Amino acid sequence: MTEYPPSRRVVITGLGVVTPLGIGVDNTWQALLAGKSGIGPITRFDASGYACRIAAEVKDFDPADHLEKKEIKKMDTFIQYAVAASQEAVDDAGLTIAPETAERVGVYIGAGIGGLPAIEQYHKVLQDKGPGRVSPFFIPMVIVNLASGQVAIRFGAKGPNSCAVTACATGNHCIGDAYRIIQRGEADVMLAGGTESTICPLAIAGFGAAKALSRRNDDPERASRPFDRDRDGFVIGEGAGVVVLEALEHAQRRGVRIYGELAGYAMTSDAFHITAPPDDGAGAVDCMEKAIRDAGVPKATIGYINAHATSTFADRVETQAIKTVFGNHAARLPVSSTKSMIGHLLGAAGGVEAVFTTLALYHGVLPPTVNLEHPDPECDLDYIPGQARQVPIEAALSNAFGFGGVNACLVVKTASGSLDV
């Protein structure tokens, strides 16, 4: 067995996304920097009787562009998105998985909810037509780990294969756990991220009953408004975000482009409430502190935060947590919520936002927060309102906090000048 140091450095070499702003990284990134919104009226079903009738749906996704016909019927949409985003990330990384290296390549892609639309669909089939008409592919269509499973099958990746299911922190947990797997020497390459597609009647009804969703139905593009005084809930979205992580020496041997180094990861628990954070944001504070410490960078080096901010009351809690962590530096630290344009992608949020954070670092361009028209007095940081900002940065932080009090933070730092093994 090959011996590795106890903690190897991990870099990002490939990116892939499916989002409400477009299919693929280039389309999504350009729309994001332009401040475009992917939010509109729900088209997946008749939502006329619902309190919330808006969502950030993925448009123009044809599964036949990414999958063979016989495979499509085996996968609910969240799995299809994961496969599409993974294919883009693998292509972007120029990665070839050969039989002799397959056991050193793994997959770690999760979802917060999984195949809820297929559950709805086949429950109706069962009720209307009986058990004999339920598809034999029903179970593997809906269980969360089949996103990782199908991606591994597609690429022949025989290394570690798993998933996190941690609500809105899923994507960050998957990426962070995959990072640890490479650090420990258990794999050389990991495809990691999150995926979700649950814009369906039961999800909208459930989140609506919890009064979590925006009801700005007459003005959907302005409905997601993190940090704004008039925010009234999040807008549910869908999509997938996947990154290719590699051990530094493995990427260097391949001679591939390196977007940045994934340098820090932490996870904590609020142990407080099933949906709400404590007012002082103590769990988020602890998580950010530990991720920055893990990255080994001074706090003043962090030049951008992609906030979890969902357009709910918790935006002020995250703001306070950032102030607690960064002290005087917080006033000079650019923060933005890309959920203002793509909505809240639930289990996919962390994966997509990790891609955005990496691109911000790589290109030196920080995406804006849109719809910040009347700032909440308790949300008083630099949220990059309205327009993207060109600023070279050395390191960035991506936050993800979820139901159940789960917190997961990632730190990415620039690759230039820091890649000596």
Q: Identify whether the C-beta of residue 360 lies closer than 8 Å to the C-beta of residue 389.
A: no
Q: Are residues 218 and 73 in the same domain?
A: yes
Among 172, 228, 221, residue whose Cα is nearest residue 383 = 228
Q: Are residues 354 and 247 in the same domain?
A: no
Angle in degrees, 0-180, between the axes of helices 349-363 and 25-33, rounded to the nearest 10: 70
**pLDDT tens track for 18-52:** 999 999 999 999 999 999 999 999 999 999 999 99
pLDDT at 6 (0 to 100)? 53
Provide the 8-state DSSP code for 101.
T
pLDDT at 421 (0 to 100)? 42
* Main-chain dihedrals φ then ψ at residue 39, nearest 5 degrees: -100, 140
Q: What angle do CA 357, 97, 151 make, to 5 degrees?
A: 60
Domain termination site, one of 222, 254, 286: 254
pLDDT at 337 (0 to 100)? 98
Q: Which domain holds residue 36?
A: 10-254
Domain termination site, one of 254, 284, 313: 254
Q: Are residues 408 and 322 in the same domain?
A: yes
pLDDT at 18 (0 to 100)? 98
Q: Identify whether the C-beta of residue 118 lies closer than 8 Å to the C-beta of residue 138.
A: yes
Q: Whole-angstrom Cα distance, residue 288 to residue 290?
A: 5
Domain count, the chain: 2
* Residues tagged active-site: 168, 308, 344
Output the DSSP codes for 359-380.
HHHHHTEEPPB---SSB-TT--
Domain termination site, one of 233, 254, 275: 254
Core vs surface per residue 294-316: b (16+ CB within 10 A) or e: bbebebebbbbbbbbbbbbebbb
Among 272, 293, 274, residue whose Cα is nearest residue 282 = 272
Question: Residue 4 falls within a domain, yes or no?
Answer: no
Q: Are residues 170 and 246 in the same domain?
A: yes
Question: Residue 96 falls within a domain, yes or no?
Answer: yes
CATH of the domain at 361: 3.40.47.10
Tokens of 229: 């005084």
pLDDT at 2 (0 to 100)? 44
* H or E, element range at 406: strand 406-413
pLDDT below 50 — which residues of the chain? 1-5, 417-418, 420-421
Angle in degrees, 0-180, between the axes of helices 282-295 and 314-326, rounded to the nearest 10: 40
pLDDT at 416 (0 to 100)? 64
Q: What angle do CA 170, 174, 179 make, to 5 degrees?
A: 150
Output the DSSP codes for 267-282.
EEE--S-SS---TT-H
Q: Are residues 242 and 378 in the same domain?
A: no
Q: Whole-angstrom Cα distance, residue 73 to residue 101?
A: 30
Q: Are residues 240 and 284 in the same domain?
A: no
* Main-chain dihedrals φ then ψ at residue 402, nearest 5 degrees: -135, 170
Q: Are residues 237 and 270 in the same domain?
A: no
Q: Are residues 116 and 182 in the same domain?
A: yes
**pLDDT tens track for 291-334:** 999 999 999 999 999 999 999 999 999 999 999 999 999 999 99
Q: Are residues 240 and 278 in the same domain?
A: no
pLDDT at 7 (0 to 100)? 82
CB count in 10 Å sphere of residue 42: 22
